[in-house]
């Protein structure tokens, strides 16, 4: 029996599949739970703070206001299962929030938020592109001085080495394609703001990059469908294994992917009566 084919792809799923097809399967097809990660949760917190900052009138977007936004976002996150699951206490909790504050301060070294004309924040876009359902959340969509669209993606992890910049930009090129499909206009600029370093990587989408993005998406989608039909998702060991939550099921670490499948099928069977009850 073939694995179920995912209903859509997002930039993060595309990069998950190209990084390691087996990790993609565990996460997207088997839907194995992953333990909360401090880095991801801190990213959520900082994104929420910057979203709040850009909702303020331009003149009020100061460092102090951003730190106040961070404090508000922290209160909101307090009961979130992802944050609670981190079980942060004492020095760890202090360090977690100090790092978040540092990332917010660093943001001001990359741009002056008083000059940003955002027209969308945390924008969920979905479009059919060449028969593929594509979806993504754009951190910020804005207008430049000439009225051109600009897509901005905040990153709270480390910036990639120069030779990997193109790969990291592939996600924002997908956002650019989504904008073009839905708004009928290609963004003038797409940018990644790495808050840790801090560093901005900026590019201007072109006919060539758009064609390349379409080609890559088509190739990834074909590969995903084929892997599902053949039940063949291969491990691709790399330094990313160090942070992978699925090592217990990965043959590269002595695990058995079939155990993950059984777990997934068991969870689906358990959910079915519940669903039937909800639909009754």
Binding residues for ligand SF4, rule: CB under 6 A, are: 20, 22-23, 235-237, 240-241, 244, 246-247, 250, 252-253
Q: What is the DSSP string of 61-89?
A: --HHHHHHHHHHHHHHHTT-HHHHTT---
- Taking the complex as a whole, how short is the minimal distance between the CB of residue 253 and ligand SF4, in angstroms? 6
Q: What are the C-alpha distances in Å from 204 to residues 155, 201, 207, 254? A: 19, 11, 10, 44
- Cβ nearer to ligand SF4, comparing 59 with 258: 258
Q: Which of 192, 47, 31, 221 is nearest to 134 (CA)?
A: 221
Question: First vs last Cα of the chain: how many Å apart?
Answer: 29
Residues 6 or more apart whose Cβ sits within 8 Å of residue 184: none
- Cβ nearer to ligand SF4, comparing 187 with 235: 235
- Taking the complex as a whole, how short is the minimal distance between the CB of residue 86 and ligand SF4, in angstroms? 21
- Cβ nearer to ligand SF4, comparing 160 with 218: 160
- Taking the complex as a whole, how short is the minimal distance between the CB of residue 74 and ligand SF4, in angstroms? 31
- Taking the complex as a whole, how short is the minimal distance between the CB of residue 26 and ligand SF4, in angstroms? 6
Token output for 87: 């079980």
What is the distance between the alpha carbons of residues 188 and 148, in angstroms, rounded to a whole number? 5
Q: Which of 135, 133, 137, 165 is nearest to 153 (CA)?
A: 137
- Cβ nearer to ligand SF4, comparing 23 with 172: 23
- Taking the complex as a whole, how short is the minimal distance between the CB of residue 35 and ligand SF4, in angstroms? 14
- Cβ nearer to ligand SF4, comparing 11 with 235: 235
Quick one: which H or E segment has residue 194?
A: strand 189-194
Peptide bond into 225 cis (omega under 30): no
Task: Kindly give the residue spans of alpha helices, DSSP state H, lying in 88-194.
Answer: 90-110, 165-183
- Cβ nearer to ligand SF4, comparing 25 with 173: 25
What is the distance between the alpha carbons of residues 7 and 22, in angstroms, rounded to a whole number? 18
Q: Strands across the sheet with 132-143, in order? A: 117-129, 132-143, 149-155, 189-194, 199-203
- Taking the complex as a whole, how short is the minimal distance between the CB of residue 242 and ligand SF4, in angstroms? 8
- Taking the complex as a whole, how short is the minimal distance between the CB of residue 276 and ligand SF4, in angstroms? 33
- Cβ nearer to ligand SF4, comparing 210 with 236: 236
């Amino acid at each position: 029996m073939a694995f179920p084919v995912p209903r859509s792809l997002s930039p993060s799923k595309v990069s998950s599949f190209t990084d390691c097809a087996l990790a993609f399967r565990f996460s997207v097809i088997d839907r194995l739970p992953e333990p909360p990660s401090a880095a991801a949760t801190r990213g959520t917190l900082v994104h929420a703070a910057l979203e709040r900052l850009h909702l303020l009138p331009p003149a009020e977007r100061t460092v102090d206001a951003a730190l106040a936004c961070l404090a508000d976002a922290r209160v909101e996150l307090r009961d979130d299962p992802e944050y609670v699951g981190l079980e942060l206490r004492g020095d760890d909790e202090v360090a977690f929030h100090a790092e978040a504050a540092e990332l917010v301060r660093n943001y001001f070294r990359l741009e002056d938020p008083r000059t940003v004309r955002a027209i969308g924040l945390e924008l969920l876009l979905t479009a059919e592109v060449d028969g593929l359902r594509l979806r993504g959340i754009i951190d910020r969509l804005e207008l430049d001085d000439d009225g051109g669209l600009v897509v901005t993606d905040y990153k709270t992890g480390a910036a990639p080495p120069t030779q990997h910049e193109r790969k990291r930009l592939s996600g924002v090129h997908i956002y650019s394609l989504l904008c073009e499909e839905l708004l009928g206009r290609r963004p003038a600029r797409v940018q990644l703001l790495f808050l840790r370093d801090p560093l901005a990587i900026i590019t201007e989408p072109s006919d060539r990059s758009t064609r390349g993005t379409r080609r890559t998406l088509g190739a990834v989608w074909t590969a995903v469908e084929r892997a599902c039909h053949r039940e063949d998702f291969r491990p691709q060991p790399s330094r990313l294994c160090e942070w992978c939550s699925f090592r217990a099921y990965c043959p590269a670490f002595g695990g058995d992917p079939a155990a993950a499948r059984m777990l997934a099928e068991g969870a689906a069977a358990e959910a079915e009566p519940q669903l039937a009850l909800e639909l009754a």
